[in-house]
Amino acid sequence: MHMLSLPLSLLLLSTTARAELVVVTSHESPISQLSRAQLAEVFSGRTRIVNGHAITPVEYENADRERFYQQVLGRSPSQMRTIWAKLLFTGDGQPPRVFGSYAEARSQLLADRGLITYIDSKQLGPGLKVIFP
């Protein structure tokens, strides 16, 4: 029993660590913290300016969208798609731009301090700062 539970608990720990999603931006961004509610507004396109600063959300291929929408934004993927359809077809904005990879998204974030995205905390590297949680 003990022999079985150790690998199991390690696996659980590993899963928990991988599951930590953080929202990041360039370390040069004047934004230091965003609330869950503000993130929901920004990613749904209803807000593009927070505390006087322009913010544009971006995504990348293989981003953990479903978990981010559910756990952080508190929205289902279908809710987000409905919101974006309304934005797109009324000329009021676009869904978040999707880059081909996280590496590409990261280089864009470093070049433009108005961009934000979400990553696994283990992917955090130099030049980026966490603004949520």
Partner 1 sequence: MPIRPLLLLLGLLALNLPAALAEDTPQLHLSGFGSLAATRTDDPAIGFKRNFQARANADEWSFEADSRLGVQLDLQLNPSWQGVVQVVGMQRERGKFQPTVEWANLAWQVNPNWRLRLGRMVTPVTSTSESREVGYAQLGARAPLETVGIYPMVGHDGADLRYRQSLGSGEARVQVFAGQTAFKLPFLEYEVDQVAGALFTYTLNDWTLRYAHTRIRDARATGGSYLETTRPLVAGLNMIAPFCAATLCSDTITRINRLSSGWGGHFNVLSLGYEDGSWSLQTEYATRKLDTFVSDGRSLVALLGYHHGELTPYLGFSRADSTNRQRAVQFAVSNPAVQPTANMLAGIVSRNLYEPQAANRKLYTLGLRWDVHEQLALKFQLDQIRHKYTDANYNGFYVRQPDADGQLRPYDGRLRLYSLSADFVF
Return the amino acid letter for 66.
E
Question: Cβ distance 58 to 116 under 8 Å?
Answer: yes
Q: Is 91 a residue that touches partner 1 (CB under 8 A)?
A: yes
**What is each CA distance from 31 to 4, 102, 103, 107, in whole angstroms?**
46, 21, 22, 18
Nearer to partner 1 (CB atom), residue 20 or residue 66: 66
55, burial (CB in 10 Å: exposed 0-12, middle 13-18, buried 19+): buried
CB of residue 129 to partner 1, shortest distance in Å: 20
Strands 56-60 and 115-120 come out as: parallel
CB of residue 83 to partner 1, shortest distance in Å: 8
Distance CA 33, CA 118 (A): 13
CB of residue 27 to partner 1, shortest distance in Å: 20
Binds partner 1 by CB under 8 A, chosen from 4, 8, 16, 52 = 52
Q: Is 61 a residue that touches partner 1 (CB under 8 A)?
A: no
Q: Is 54 a residue that touches partner 1 (CB under 8 A)?
A: yes
Nearer to partner 1 (CB atom), residue 12 or residue 85: 85
Distance CA 73, CA 67 (A): 9
Q: Give the x-and-dash track for 6-45 against partner 1 (CB under 8 A).
A: -------------------------------xx-xx----
Residues at the contact surface with partner 1, assessed by CB under 8 A? 37-38, 40-41, 46-52, 54, 70, 73-79, 81-83, 85-86, 88-92, 94, 114
